[in-house]
């Protein structure tokens, strides 16, 4: 059997005897992808920007948990060999997450590394199915920081205060796991565009600076304030702060079905580096 990954990132398997012709399509030229980066570099940078409350190695895999807050912080990051047969490793993954009352997830990628492509196919062979797909995009940081934006409206701080959390839509009442994950990372910044008196902020965002990389997350705009350029304003302010700390490249993650955000990031020069997926047993 052959495993083939088309542009949508969804691996398919076909019998070798049915293949008439084919060729490997190379990655897009660097000038279109932004800064050069390997999959492993980006995987490690993004993991440091969204750290779990608890983790445990399994060979070269990392089991991560944070009370169920986001799949990223509650999934296995497999960057090598688990040190045992795959079926045995997946059994250990199931046990580890069951002990914590969490569903088991494995985070993988397509369009980035052969080993990850092979793991996707192997997971499917063991009865695991993909639940979500997101794009990991990269860009040069300076063009984002150079965008014309009213950055004077943005307040930057090191903590997600009550006002920032009031705009954050992923949780109701934030627990300790949420605040722990949000404040994790080498150099974390929170951006807020204040709303009217007594209202939650008009827009918020989060950026983690890690060496040459600036990662953008949790960029949200209140429905009544959308289409006013506030998402761009937040990202520009965060980009300038990151550049002051020496960063030169940017990354972010966006779900494949979020058309509005994808269009925004297209306009900022972000190009897809690879797709990442979360697999769960059925």
Statement to judge: residues 218 and 174 lie in one domain: yes
Pairing of strands 128-140, 271-281: antiparallel
How far apart (Å, rounded) are the C-alpha atoms in residues 171 and 149?
Answer: 29
The pLDDT value recorded for residue 256 is: 85
Is residue 128 situated within a structural domain? yes
Average pLDDT on 66-84 reads: 96
How far apart (Å, rounded) are the C-alpha atoms in residues 8 and 111?
Answer: 9
- Any idea what the Cα angle at residue 236 is, between residues 232 and 242, rounded to 5°? 145
Statement to judge: residues 125 and 170 lie in one domain: no
The pLDDT value recorded for residue 240 is: 97
Is residue 237 situated within a structural domain? yes
**What is the average pLDDT value for the chain, to the nearest integer?**
89
Q: How many residues does the chain have?
A: 282
Is residue 19 situated within a structural domain? no
**Res 31 pLDDT > 80:** no
Is residue 21 situated within a structural domain? no
Contacts of 139 (CB under 8 A, 6+ apart): 34, 35, 249, 250, 251, 265, 268, 269, 270, 271
Pairing of strands 249-255, 213-221: parallel
Quick: pLDDT tens for 224-280: 999 899 999 999 999 999 999 999 999 999 998 889 899 999 999 999 999 999 999
How many domains are contained in the chain?
2
Quick: pLDDT tens for 87-103: 999 999 999 999 999 99
Cross-strand partners of 124: none
Statement to judge: residues 6 and 103 lie in one domain: yes
Q: What are the CA-CA distances from residue 208 to residues 54, 90, 231 (Å)?
A: 20, 31, 17
In terms of Cα–Cα distance, which of 203, 173, 172, 209 is closest to 189? 209
153 pLDDT band, cuts 50/70/90, is: very high
The pLDDT value recorded for residue 234 is: 97
Its pTM stands at 0.85
Percent of the chain whose pLDDT exceeds 90: 77
Is residue 241 situated within a structural domain? yes
The pLDDT value recorded for residue 171 is: 66
The pLDDT value recorded for residue 200 is: 84
**Res 25 pLDDT > 90:** no
- Please give the residue range of the domain that contains residue 259: 140-274
Query: Other C-beta atoms within 10 Å of 29: how many?
Result: 7
- Any idea what the Cα angle at residue 185 is, between residues 179 and 188, rounded to 5°? 75
CA atoms within 13 A on the CB side of 14: 12
Statement to judge: residues 170 and 51 lie in one domain: no
In terms of Cα–Cα distance, which of 101, 92, 91, 95 is closest to 66? 101
Q: Residue 239's domain is classified under what CATH number? A: 3.40.630.30
Statement to judge: residues 84 and 178 lie in one domain: no
Average pLDDT on 37-49 reads: 96
How far apart (Å, rounded) are the C-alpha atoms in residues 115 and 40?
Answer: 11
**Res 32 pLDDT > 50:** no
The pLDDT value recorded for residue 253 is: 96
- Helix and strand numbers (H, E) in the chain are 9, 13
The pLDDT value recorded for residue 195 is: 87
**Res 191 pLDDT > 50:** yes
How far apart (Å, rounded) are the C-alpha atoms in residues 195 and 148?
Answer: 21
Contacts of 73 (CB under 8 A, 6+ apart): 50, 51, 52, 53, 64, 65, 66, 177, 181
Quick: pLDDT tens for 195-218: 877 678 999 999 999 999 999 999
């Amino acid at each position: 059997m052959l495993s083939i990954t088309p542009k949508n990132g969804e691996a398919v398997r076909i019998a070798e005897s049915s293949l008439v012709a084919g060729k490997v399509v190379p990655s897009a030229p660097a000038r279109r992808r932004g800064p050069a980066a390997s999959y492993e570099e980006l995987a490690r940078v993004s993991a440091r920007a969204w750290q779990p409350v608890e983790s445990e190695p399994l060979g070269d895999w990392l089991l991560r948990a944070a009370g169920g807050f986001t799949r990223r912080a509650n999934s296995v990051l497999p960057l090598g060999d688990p040190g045992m047969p795959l079926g045995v490793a997946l059994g250990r993954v199931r046990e580890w997450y069951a002990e914590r009352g969490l569903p088991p997830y494995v985070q993988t990628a397509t369009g980035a590394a052969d080993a990850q492509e092979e793991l996707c196919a192997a997971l499917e062979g063991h009865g695991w199915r993909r639940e979500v797909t997101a794009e990991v995009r990269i860009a040069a940081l300076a063009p984002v920081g150079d965008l014309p934006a009213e950055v004077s409206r943005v307040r930057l701080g090191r903590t997600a205060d009550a006002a920032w959390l009031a705009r954050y839509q992923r949780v109701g009442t934030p627990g300790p796991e949420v605040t722990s994950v949000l404040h994790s990372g080498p150099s974390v910044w929170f951006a807020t565009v204040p709303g009217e008196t007594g209202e939650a902020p008009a827009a918020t965002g989060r950026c983690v600076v890690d060496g040459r990389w600036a990662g953008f997350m949790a960029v949200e705009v209140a429905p009544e304030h959308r289409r006013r350029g506030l998402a761009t304003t937040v990202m520009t302010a965060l980009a300038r702060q990151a550049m002051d700390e020496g960063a030169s490249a940017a990354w972010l993650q966006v779900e494949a079905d979020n058309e509005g955000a994808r269009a925004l990031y297209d306009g900022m020069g972000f190009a897809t580096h690879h797709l990442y997926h979360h697999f769960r047993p059925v």
